[in-house]
Amino acid sequence: MKITKAVIPAAGLGTRVLPATKSMPKEMLPIVDKPAIQYIVEEAVRSGIRDILIITNRGKGLIEDHFDRVPELEERLSKGGPEKQRILKEIIEIAHKANIYFVRQKETRGLGHAIGCARSFVGNEPFAVLYGDDVILGKDPACAQLIRAYEEFGKGVVGVKKVSKEAISKYSSLKVEPLHDNYYRCTDMIEKPSPDEILSLYAILGRCVLPPDIFDIIDHTEPGAGGEIQLTDAMRTLARRDGMVAVEFTGRRYDMGNKLGIMKAQVEVALQHPEIGADFRAYLKELCKTL
Ligand code: UTP
């Protein structure tokens, strides 16, 4: 079955980036001139996704506004020169990239609970999940890489990368064995492992493709790490029962949920930016001499 639906959970509290996220969702933090969530929507669209559900909560109206039309602004830009016309085209396109829907997670009870809010949108189809604070940039969209694995194996797929021993306790840890190329069979996983619980240094980073059975599993998943209903705990049930596929995806991943991740994204994207890239590179070189 072709995967055309995606869910972007964006209802977390973003406590690691306070006070910036007190009234501004972290998913709206810009990387140079585009909010994080727009990069994520663009990745989904480039992966063949047509319908996107964004899970929001109180105070995330800014996300809804970003994907809407703004007649007054469009009117003003339409009277400008070629550069204003280019921006006009771009901001109109944002509103038409895909069919974008919103639902509110009424209580912040964890990522698993947030995904559970997508049940009626998803129906009985497999679907992609793109975490709202994980931006992945690369030629071959990460979501598309996972969708191809789903098409090959017909099983739930997680996007993984190897992380350091020191970092793994902040993520999940997966039990994996090689399948072929960058594909691994995954039969177990654990969220935020303590040192003696580490299964491997492969961690899920921001992307998965799930069968609709995940919703019943989420309904029966007890709160785990941090007292939240963890998506990893629900996927662990799926991995133990049916097996899953882990794809070591290509592309640079930026964690927009923490300060260092945000700064790395800013610097690397700015260096490639067609408008400011050259000037920023020159500035950075000068700055480096003083470090
Ligand atoms: P995180 O655990 O990184 O988000 O969730 P958080 O809770 O906002 O982070 P901190 O620790 O307080 O800084 C990963 C993704 O899942 C979403 C978040 O918005 C983020 O995109 N999420 C998390 C939800 O949608 N609902 C939740 O209840 C929790």
Q: Which residues line ligand 1 (CB under 6 A)?
A: 9-16, 55, 105, 108-111, 113-114, 131-133, 257
Q: Using CA positions, which residue lies closest to atom 23 of ligand 1?
A: 12
Look at residue 61 in the predicted model and tell me its pLDDT. 84
Mutate to test the pocket of ligand 1, among 13, 27, 106, 113 (most ligand atoms within 8 A of CB): 13
Look at residue 29 in the predicted model and tell me its pLDDT. 94
Q: Using CA positions, which residue lies closest to atom 27 of ligand 1?
A: 110
Q: Using CA positions, which residue lies closest to atom 25 of ligand 1?
A: 11
Q: Using CA positions, which residue lies closest to atom 2 of ligand 1?
A: 12
How many angstroms separate the CA atoms of 291 and 223, rounded?
46
How many angstroms separate the CA atoms of 91 and 111, rounded?
30
CA of 147 to the centre of ligand 1 (A): 23
How many angstroms separate the CA atoms of 70 and 61, rounded?
14
How many angstroms separate the CA atoms of 169 and 191, rounded?
8
What's this model's pTM, rounded to 2 decimal places?
Answer: 0.95
User: What is the DSSP secondary-structure string of 25-51?
Assistant: -GGG-EETTEEHHHHHHHHHHHTT--E
How many angstroms separate the CA atoms of 161 and 250, rounded?
9
Look at residue 39 in the predicted model and tell me its pLDDT. 96
Query: Measuring CA to CA, how many Å separate 234 from each of 106, 178, 210, 240, 289?
Result: 20, 23, 11, 10, 49
Nearest atom in ligand 1 to the alpha carbon of residue 55 is 25
> Would you say the C-alpha torsion 37, 245, 214, 125 has a positive or negative sign?
positive
Look at residue 69 in the predicted model and tell me its pLDDT. 85
- Over its length of 291 residues, how does the chain's per-residue pLDDT go in tens digits? 789 999 999 999 999 999 999 888 999 999 999 999 999 999 999 999 999 999 998 776 889 999 888 889 889 999 999 989 988 888 888 778 889 999 999 999 999 999 999 999 999 999 999 999 999 999 999 999 999 999 999 999 999 999 999 999 999 999 999 999 999 999 999 999 999 999 999 999 999 999 999 999 999 999 998 899 999 999 999 999 999 999 999 999 999 999 999 999 999 999 999 999 999 999 999 999 999
Question: Which residue carries 């039990």 as its tokens?
Answer: 175
Reduce the DSSP state of residue 24 to 3 states and report it. Answer: coil
CA of 111 to the centre of ligand 1 (A): 6
Q: Residues 98, 46: contact at Cβ < 8 Å?
A: no
Q: Using CA positions, which residue lies closest to atom 1 of ligand 1?
A: 12
